[in-house]
């Protein structure tokens, strides 16, 4: 009578191979979460510069504020941004602070617009965003 099954040696080989594969793959996945959170912050900056900035800048010009949008900063998130990423906190001055507990590495700095140019948002090197 022939028995079907695995021998102890075959099981040990499978465990060793799985251990080697996990040892090779694990370091590649360690920083993936942080990279994803930072990517979300950078994408949000691009969205601010491409859509929100020109819209609010045009409203500022039509309202006679010469392109300065700092007067709209208190209501920027509630009126012009559908959802703020969980990595960010609105500072109320058009800048944003990144939450390091959620993996954010960059804050978002703000430079106000004028009659000749729309406002700009940029990633800061720290988690604290600053209005300039």
pLDDT at 103: 66
Question: pLDDT tens for residues 60-70?
Answer: 888 888 888 88
Give this prediction's pTM: 0.73
Q: How far is the C-alpha of 90 from the C-alpha of 129, rounded, in Å? A: 9
Question: pLDDT tens for residues 33-54?
Answer: 778 888 888 888 898 889 888 8
Paired strand residues for 110: 121, 131
What is the percentage of the chain residues whose pLDDT exceeds 70?
Answer: 96
Q: Band of the pLDDT at 114, cuts 50, 70, 90?
A: confident
Q: Band of the pLDDT at 59, cuts 50, 70, 90?
A: confident
Mean pLDDT (the chain) is 84
Secondary structure (DSSP) of 46-68: HHIIIIIHHHHHHHHHHTTSTT-
> With 0-12 CB in 10 A as exposed, 13-18 as middle and 19+ as buried, what is 61?
middle
């Amino acid at each position: 009578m022939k028995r079907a099954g695995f021998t102890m040696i075959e099981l040990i080989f499978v465990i060793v191979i799985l251990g080697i594969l996990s040892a090779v793959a694990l370091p590649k996945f360690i920083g993936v979460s942080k990279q994803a959170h930072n990517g979300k912050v950078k994408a949000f900056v691009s969205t601010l510069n491409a859509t929100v900035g020109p819209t609010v800048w045009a409203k500022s010009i039509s309202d006679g504020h010469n392109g300065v949008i700092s007067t709209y900063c208190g209501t920027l998130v509630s009126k012009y941004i559908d959802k703020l990423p969980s990595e960010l906190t609105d500072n109320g001055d058009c800048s944003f602070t990144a939450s390091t507990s959620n993996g954010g590495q960059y804050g978002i700095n703000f430079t106000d617009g004028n009659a000749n140019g729309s406002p700009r948002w940029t990633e800061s090197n720290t988690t604290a965003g600053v209005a300039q």
